[in-house]
Amino acid sequence: MNQAFICDAIRTPFGRYGGALSSVRTDDLGAIPLKALMARNPQVDWAAVADVIYGCANQAGEDNRNVAHMSSLLAGLPLQVPGVTVNRLCGSGLDAIGTAARAIKAGEAGLMIAGGVESMSRAPFVMPKAESAFSRNQAVYDTTIGWRFINPLMKAQYGVDSMPETAENVATDFKIERQAQDRMALNSQMRAVAAIEAGHLAREICPVTLPQKKGDPVRVSADEHPRKTSLEALAQLKGVVRPDGTVTAGNASGVNDGACALILADEATAAKNGLIPKARVVGMATAGVAPRIMGIGPVPATQKVLVQTGLTLAQMDVIELNEAFAAQGLAVLRLLGLHDDDARVNAWGGAIALGHPLGASGARLATTAINRLHHSGGRYALCTMCIGVGQGIALVLERV
């Protein structure tokens, strides 16, 4: 079996909802890291790319009609390079990497691009068709995040809890204290600020230049979401699900815009194209859980990928756990037998600080994990995420 290596990885800054990147169409946003990869690797025969696989969770607006291929074309990749968009909601970008790696391992591809994109700012409102002629009833759904066009059978059998509601369910079921959630949120912010100041995140970001109607273009080169805060400030925030709830805007991930792309290749193809492998994709696994507590999905997914790869959590030098909510992040850590403040987890900040543009987040986890491995000299990294409607995904990387 061939081995699949990640040879380069780059992402845009992650913008706030309605922020600096909100004027960029989703397909244009997805093209930005692809262009950056092409500029950084001019020696690559881009016509040899077997496929471009992008994760995207929305696909109801400018990301419709296969945003992976549209972004590929807009980036200037050769016409003969195909593209496919995958949707495993929050896990889409990580799934794209695992899917590309599987094709390479199987010998069906030698060179692939994987990643993801999401513009949550530009997610449209959608309307269902009328159920009868001259109907006077009409609904409008916001596609930014969460359920729409709900199936009554799904609601009756599994519930259709909103994302914050699922986090509150996890907090209640697994007794995750509000104070612990705020501590995780504060740590995420502090670590992100420290990583930015140390230049760690700048190395994985390609700046975005935004033309203006008047004046010079605006250059966006840093994540917008991180902010300095304190436990006292976080403690003052009210619950977003109910007033006495523990899930707040301060201990939840953001609603964001961003894109990320990675080059994957087998050893021979990498050498032929002048690429230097940075990490080997050891394995990927997914698992299902009850939708109402979707946040614990990383637990069975991690357990599956460790069995698959024959590795243990103790061997993981880097852990990138997507902080959809502090409540679910802490539940995952505790169920896996890890301490709340395990130094391996999100050392450069997590989604609470950096943001969570759904389809791009998994690719960002892998990008950061690779950079952390090379910075620390560690060997193995675990990237894992919870997924709406009740799933988890986990991927293991090995530094090369």
Based on the residue annotation, tell me whether 356 is a catalytic residue of this protein: yes
The string of pLDDT tens digits covering residues 46-88 is 999 999 999 999 999 999 999 999 999 999 999 999 999 999 9
Model confidence at 268, pLDDT cuts 50, 70, 90, reads very high
Q: b/e for 120-150, b at 16 or more Cβ within 10 A? A: bbbbeeeeeeeeeeeeeeeeebebbbebbee
Half-sphere CA count of 159, side-chain side, radius 13 A: 13
- Average pLDDT on 118-136 reads 94
- pLDDT value of residue 102: 98
Longest dimension (CA), the chain: 67
* Residue 157 CB coordination number (10 Å): 9
Half-sphere CA count of 214, side-chain side, radius 13 A: 0
- Average pLDDT on 126-133 reads 92
The string of pLDDT tens digits covering residues 304-327 is 999 999 999 999 999 999 999 999
Length reported for the chain = 400
Q: For the chain, what is the mean pLDDT?
A: 97
With beta carbons less than 8 A apart as the criterion, state whether 173 and 290 touch.
no
Cα separations in angstroms, 302 against 123, 171, 198, 385: 31, 20, 30, 9
Model confidence at 150, pLDDT cuts 50, 70, 90, reads very high
* Helix boundaries (H) for the chain: 26-40, 67-75, 92-105, 152-158, 163-173, 178-198, 231-235, 267-272, 298-309, 326-335, 351-354, 358-376
Residues 6+ apart with CB under 8 A from 20: 13, 208, 210, 218, 220, 224
- pLDDT value of residue 1: 86
- pLDDT value of residue 262: 99
State the CATH class of domain 5-123+253-399: alpha beta
Catalytic residue among 7, 56, 260, 386, which?
386
- Average pLDDT on 84-110 reads 98
Based on the residue annotation, tell me whether 386 is a catalytic residue of this protein: yes
Based on the residue annotation, tell me whether 90 is a catalytic residue of this protein: yes
Amino acid, single-letter form, for residue 2 = N
The answer to whether the pTM exceeds 0.75 is yes
Residue with tokens 């403690």: 235
Residue 328 pLDDT exceeds 90: yes
Catalytic residue among 56, 200, 356, 383, which?
356
Residue with tokens 């889409």: 92
Q: What is the Rg, in whole angstroms, of the alpha carbon atoms belonging to the chain?
A: 20
Would you state the structure tokens that stand for residue 240, as one six-digit string? Answer: 């977003």
Question: What CA–CA distance (Å, rounded) separates 382 from 397?
Answer: 7
Instruction: Give which of 361, 97, 354, 395 is closest to 200, Cα–Cα.
Output: 354
Question: What CA–CA distance (Å, rounded) separates 317 from 278?
Answer: 16
Instruction: Give which of 322, 324, 306 is closest to 314, Cα–Cα.
Output: 306
The domain locations on the chain are 5-123+253-399
Pairing of strands 111-119, 51-55: parallel
Catalytic residue among 90, 206, 260, 383, which?
90
- Average pLDDT on 259-286 reads 98
Question: What CA–CA distance (Å, rounded) separates 245 from 238?
Answer: 8
* Residue 22 CB coordination number (10 Å): 14
Question: What CA–CA distance (Å, rounded) separates 62 from 51?
Answer: 21
The string of pLDDT tens digits covering residues 166-209 is 999 999 999 999 999 999 999 999 999 999 999 999 999 999 99
